[in-house]
Amino acid sequence: MELKSKTIFLRLVEQSDAEFILSLRINNNYSKYLSRVDDNLSEQERWLADYKKREALEQEFYFIICRNSDSLPIGTVRIYDFIGDRESFSWGSWILNENKTRYAALECALLIYDFAFFTLGFKRCHMDIRKQNIKVIEFHKKFGVKMIGETEIDLLGHYFPEDYLSIREKINTMIESYDKIS
């Protein structure tokens, strides 16, 4: 399975991606607001082996984000925590490194929402975002995510296909009209 847009594509993670994933997860620039991962390659490989079982059951999808121009891995993103019969999903493990393309984040969000809402048929997206992760909160708010509550450390958000459809074309136009791929 491959999800493709203008400058990036998403492919399912493989065991051989363990080192790349670990390098992102132990990098302080990226991991500040993500759950802690030990700097241990065999533990990461074990985690991925367990994940692959969930993937086979279509309970979770973990992607490597790659550049179209040279297939270089530039990040990760995962959809998980599937509730009910396609009632709701969450997404996270979202990292883009310094090799990202100009609008990789927007392209990635569109690929994830298209896949989850329209291919898988989810009716809602739920998310918890660290309150201190201001940039990502702003990103989701610009998409129209509704903040519906909070815990001590997280803001809780809900997002629906109709919210997404009302912004999708505008974002697509931004992506398409940007020509210089960094």
139 binds ligand COA (CB under 6 A): yes
Count H helices and E strands in the chain, helices first.
6, 8
171 binds ligand COA (CB under 6 A): yes
Q: Are 8 and 107 in contact (CB under 8 A)?
A: yes
Q: Which tokens is 160 given? A: 């629906």
Provide the mask over 99-138, with x wherever binding to ligand COA is found by CB under 6 A and - wherever it is not. -x----xx--------------------------x-xx--
37 binds ligand COA (CB under 6 A): no
Q: What whole-number distance in Å separates Cα of residue 95 and Cα of residue 107?
A: 13
157 binds ligand COA (CB under 6 A): no
Q: Which tokens is 95 given? A: 């990292």
- Minimal distance, residue 10 CB to ligand COA, in Å: 13
Residue located via tokens 């995510």: 145
Q: Which tokens is 169 given? A: 């074309």
- Minimal distance, residue 121 CB to ligand COA, in Å: 23
142 binds ligand COA (CB under 6 A): yes
Phi and psi at residue 31, in whole multiples of 5°? -100, 0
Residues 6+ apart with CB under 8 A from 13: 21, 48, 51, 62, 63, 64, 76
Phi and psi at residue 76, in whole multiples of 5°? -140, 155
Instruction: Report the residue number, 18 or 110, with the smaller CB distance to ligand COA.
Output: 110
Instruction: Report the residue number, 78 or 123, with the smaller CB distance to ligand COA.
Output: 78
Provide the mask over 83-102, with x wherever binding to ligand COA is found by CB under 6 A and - wherever it is not. ---------x-xxx---x--
Q: Could you say which residues in the range 59-88 bind ligand COA, by CB under 6 A? A: none
Interface ranges with ligand COA (CB under 6 A): 30, 33-34, 92, 94-96, 100, 105-106, 133, 135-136, 139, 142-143, 167, 171, 174
